[in-house]
Amino acid sequence: MEKPRLPDTPFWVEPESVDPHRLKLTPDESHHLLHVHRAKPGTPFEAIDGNGILYECVLESVERRAAVGRIVGRREGAGELPRPIEMIVGLPEWRGVEQVVEHAVPLGVTSLDFASCERSVRGALGPQRVARLIRIARAALKQSRRTRLPSITSSRTVQAALGVLGSGERFMADPAGTPFTAGAIGAPQAPIQLAVGPPGGFSDAERRILLDGGFSPISMGPSRLTTETAALALVSVARNSM
């Protein structure tokens, strides 16, 4: 008999649907497991609930269209970087916001704050927009096999975004900055905190707020980058320096 095939991406499970021995997938995730992967009782699969654990499961039964998995193993922190990456992004147009989430989540970002800036074309994102970004983040989390769902918020100003950050090593993308060096990141446990301006960059006042807040200006090279490209370039530099 052919051995059941393990799906290549984990499934999302709501945290309240996990108990010590079993978990129950949502109807949508269950449909994907049962009808796309044609899973039968005994088929292995993996699941994540966004809290940092990868659950190794075996399909046990189907209850009211929901797949029930028996938990056979847990892996804490699977797919996660050794330290957090927290990011302030000056709010670009909506498609750029989506692109940042789609690509920064697989790169390991642990929080994204889309701050409305003086040069942003709109104010802070409302609850419905943030909820959509969280759905995009969940999909990116599964695709990348990460296990901890990043927080996504939208502050009204750069000052407000800075006010909710804890301590950390701080860098901002800045044409006047110096190139990033391998020794720029020091303390191994402190969060890495990054800032990237909106289209047109941070205003002089916003830049001063960030400098006074301890952000070191880092050059992203001689070419002009979009907000979303600069964000991903800065995350990549930080990620590869750990």
How do the domains of the chain map onto residue ranges? 11-76, 85-239
List 112's β-bridge partners, or say none: 87, 152
CATH of 11-76, one of 3.90.1200.10, 3.40.50.970, 2.40.50.100, 2.40.240.20: 2.40.240.20
85-239 has which fold?
Alpha/beta knot (3.40.1280)
8 Å CB contact between 89 and 210: no
Cα 19 to Cα 14: distance, rounded to the nearest angstrom: 11
Q: What is the pLDDT of residues 201-217, one digit of tens each?
A: 999 999 999 999 999 99
pLDDT < 70: residue spans in the chain: 1-6, 182-184, 186-188
Q: What is the pLDDT of residues 75-112, one digit of tens each?
A: 999 999 999 999 999 999 999 999 999 999 999 999 99
DSSP state of 183: T
Q: Is the dihedral of CA 124, 121, 106, 35 positive or negative?
A: positive
Query: Among candidates 94, 112, 40, which has minimal Cα distance to 69?
Result: 40
Three-class SS state of 12? strand
Percent of the chain surpassing pLDDT 70: 95
User: In this structure, which amino acid lies at residue 177?
Assistant: G
